A and B are shown apart, each in its own frame.
Chain A
Amino acid sequence: MFSISQDFAPPFKLISPFFILGSLFYLLASVFIFFFTSDNLLLQDPKVLSFVHLFLLGFVMMVIFGAMAQLIPVVLEVGHSAVELFYVIWPLLGIGTILMVVGFLGFPALLPYGGTVVLISMMIFVMEIFSTIKKVKKLNIVMGSVLISNTFLFFGIIFGLVMALGYAGTIEVDIMSLLRSHVYLVIGGYIAITLMGLSVVLLPMFGLSHGFSMRPLEVSITLMSTSVVLVVISSFVKYALIEYTAYTLALASMVFYFYLVYTIFKTRARKELDIYAISLIYAYFSMLVALGLGVAYLASSYEPLLLASGWLIFFGFFGFAITGHIYKIVPFLVWFERFSPLVGKEKVPMLADMLPKKSSHAQFVFCAVGVSIIAVAILLQDDTLMKAGASFLVVGASALVRNVFYMINFK
């Protein structure tokens, strides 16, 4: 008799809080948008910083960490080194996020505390991943992407903590020079490279794609990694050529990544446009528009272009790439926990049966309309349009929370 390795299947109660909290933070971030006006739509505005940390830490990082608890053994083909550590990661990340969000909103003394709690949470995550990677005998490109992205995350959170201490007045640092490195290390170095690496595992798995080349992924990750390192260097060596070379490499990296996604899409056997597929299509479309807006900003220096680009990368690309995967990962986890022991004994549901079909499509439509309207509102600096978009987004985010609970409670 084969035994089902629990190393490859962390307990559901360990992973589910990441998805529940993540969806709640997504809803909170959507509500937050009602409090923006065109006056505070500036990159350095504390409200913007608070919002960005609420979304990135509370939603993006929370869900990615939860997904990694399940995906790391699958990707690395070894069991977790100490999977129990994930029980402390989500409470620390949640508390740290709230402290930082409140800190940016007018209580800067909370920032070092929030930053430290987030740092501890992420350090536990990174160290657990590193010690799991140590068990791997030979790294392939996907495993390598996990190692590279977590190394960037390690440095990104150290930069973030130094900045938090600077904001609170505890130490004197040039926050502006550290900001770019922090943003790039976390977003380009960790989130983007993690998503790139996982793309060649998850997209072909769900789309049943075969016969595509991995070479574009290698080129894409190499270019993005070089770009991140150059941005960090440019924070300390004030030489514009280094900075612009880094941006060019990041853009080239995305071109190769999109080519990879295109080849996976072209070779897929599964053509149905389910909630997963349409969420990813919207995510990649948002990224393409965001890249166009980013290039336009470099040419014009008109800040709303950069803000709209950032908005589409965050809520458009990251948001929809993650919500799309939530509809695949959460049903699997519930199915594995609740129904897999019943296989062969009684009729069990298929994974697709566990999705709230109408509600998940409503979530997609309301969020997609909301994100699109807000992107236009940022470009036009229009408060009314912003609130209209936020209204759609809050309805969509509420549906997401409802859908997560529906899937988790499916019996």
Chain B
Amino acid sequence: MYSKEELFLAISTVIDPEVGFNLVEMGLIYDAKCDDEGNAHVTMTLSTKACPMHQMILQWVKESVEKMANIKNVEVELVWEPAWNITMADDNVKKALGGA
């Protein structure tokens, strides 16, 4: 129903309030797919395991996909492998953080 790019575009509205970048450009969203019935599945990670906003961020990701037309169900899977690192972020993020 929706391509990975379309789902990523929807999720890119979610911004990490600590660093000020969206989750997609941070490289935190590993995969996203959606079947013809409107069941979406997002695979993502977080920059740290001990994130106090852990549950909120997952909720925002879920809500950002739920806003898309004809989406019936959204599953957000949080994984820790592969572990996130700055090389997964977009160049503009790396540059802004000073890691480029």
Question: 1/0 per position for B26-60, CB-CB distance to A under 8 A?
Answer: 00000000000000000000011011111110111
Asked if A270 contacts B97 (CB within 8 A), the reply is yes
Asked if B52 contacts A9 (CB within 8 A), the reply is yes
Asked if B86 contacts A8 (CB within 8 A), the reply is no
Asked if A205 contacts B51 (CB within 8 A), the reply is yes
Question: 1/0 per position for A327-348, CB-CB distance to B under 8 A?
Answer: 0000010011001100110001
* Bound: A110/B13 CA distance, A: 58
For residue A343, which residues in chain B have a CB less than 8 angstroms away from its CB?
Answer: 56, 60
Interface residues of B in 64-100 (CB under 8 A from A): 64, 76, 83-86, 89, 94, 97-99
Asked if B56 contacts A208 (CB within 8 A), the reply is no
For residue B18, which residues in chain A have a CB less than 8 angstroms away from its CB?
Answer: 206, 332, 350-351
Q: Find the residue from B15, B18, B19, B20 having the highest chain A CB count within 10 A.
A: B18
Asked if B86 contacts A208 (CB within 8 A), the reply is yes
Q: Which residue of A lies closest to B89 (CB)?
A: A269
The one of B20, B48, B54, B58 in contact with A8, judged by C-beta atoms closer than 8 angstroms, is B54
Query: Is the contact region of chain B dominated by helix, strand, or loop, or is it mixed?
Result: loop
* Bound: A8/B85 CA distance, A: 25
Asked if B52 contacts A70 (CB within 8 A), the reply is yes
Question: 1/0 per position for B1-24, CB-CB distance to A under 8 A?
Answer: 000000000000101011110000
Asked if A39 lies at the interface with its beta carbon under 8 angstroms from chain B, I say no
Question: 1/0 per position for A1-30, CB-CB distance to B under 8 A?
Answer: 111110011000000000000000000000
Asked if A357 lies at the interface with its beta carbon under 8 angstroms from chain B, I say no
Asked if A365 lies at the interface with its beta carbon under 8 angstroms from chain B, I say no
Q: A208-B86, A211-B85, A270-B99 known; A350 and B17 CB under 8 Å?
A: yes
Asked if B98 contacts A272 (CB within 8 A), the reply is yes
Q: A2-B55, A4-B56, A350-B20 known; A271 and B50 CB under 8 Å?
A: no
For residue B94, which residues in chain A have a CB less than 8 angstroms away from its CB?
Answer: 269
Q: Which residue of A lies closest to B64 (CB)?
A: A344
* Bound: A344/B63 CA distance, A: 9
Interface residues of A in 310-369 (CB under 8 A from B): 332, 335-336, 339-340, 343-344, 348-352
B82 to chain A, nearest CB (A): 11
* Bound: A4/B59 CA distance, A: 8
* Bound: A271/B97 CA distance, A: 6
For residue B85, which residues in chain A have a CB less than 8 angstroms away from its CB?
Answer: 210-211, 269
Indicate the size class of the contact surface on chain B. 20 to 34
A264 to chain B, nearest CB (A): 12
Asked if A351 contacts B58 (CB within 8 A), the reply is no
B56 to chain A, nearest CB (A): 6
For residue B84, which residues in chain A have a CB less than 8 angstroms away from its CB?
Answer: 210
Q: A2-B62, A270-B19, A351-B18 known; A210 and B55 CB under 8 Å?
A: no
* Bound: A211/B84 CA distance, A: 10
For residue A242, which residues in chain B have a CB less than 8 angstroms away from its CB?
Answer: none
* Bound: A258/B64 CA distance, A: 42
A16 to chain B, nearest CB (A): 16
Asked if A204 lies at the interface with its beta carbon under 8 angstroms from chain B, I say yes
Asked if B58 contacts A272 (CB within 8 A), the reply is no
The one of A208, A344, A348 in contact with B97, judged by C-beta atoms closer than 8 angstroms, is A208
Q: Find the residue from A71, A271, A343, A352 having the highest chain B CB count within 10 A.
A: A343
The one of A1, A71, A208 in contact with B59, judged by C-beta atoms closer than 8 angstroms, is A1
Q: Which residue of B lies closest to A268 (CB)?
A: B99
Asked if A2 contacts B86 (CB within 8 A), the reply is no
Asked if B62 contacts A1 (CB within 8 A), the reply is yes
Asked if B50 contacts A205 (CB within 8 A), the reply is yes
For residue B83, which residues in chain A have a CB less than 8 angstroms away from its CB?
Answer: 210
Asked if A105 lies at the interface with its beta carbon under 8 angstroms from chain B, I say no
Task: List residues of chain B with CB under 8 Å of any chain A CB.
Answer: 13, 15, 17-20, 47-48, 50-56, 58-60, 62-64, 76, 83-86, 89, 94, 97-99
Task: List residues of chain A with CB under 8 Å of any chain B CB.
Answer: 1-5, 8-9, 70-71, 74-75, 201, 204-206, 208, 210-211, 269-272, 332, 335-336, 339-340, 343-344, 348-352
Closest 5 CB pairs of A and B: A271-B98, A269-B86, A269-B99, A2-B59, A210-B85
17 further A-B pairs in the complex, CB-CB below 8 A; given A74-B52, A210-B85, A269-B89: A2-B55, A2-B59, A2-B62, A4-B56, A5-B55, A8-B52, A201-B48, A208-B47, A210-B83, A269-B98, A270-B19, A272-B97, A332-B18, A336-B53, A339-B17, A343-B56, A350-B15
A-B contact pairs, 12 of them (CB 8 A): A3-B55, A4-B56, A74-B51, A208-B48, A210-B84, A269-B86, A269-B94, A269-B98, A272-B97, A272-B98, A350-B20, A351-B18
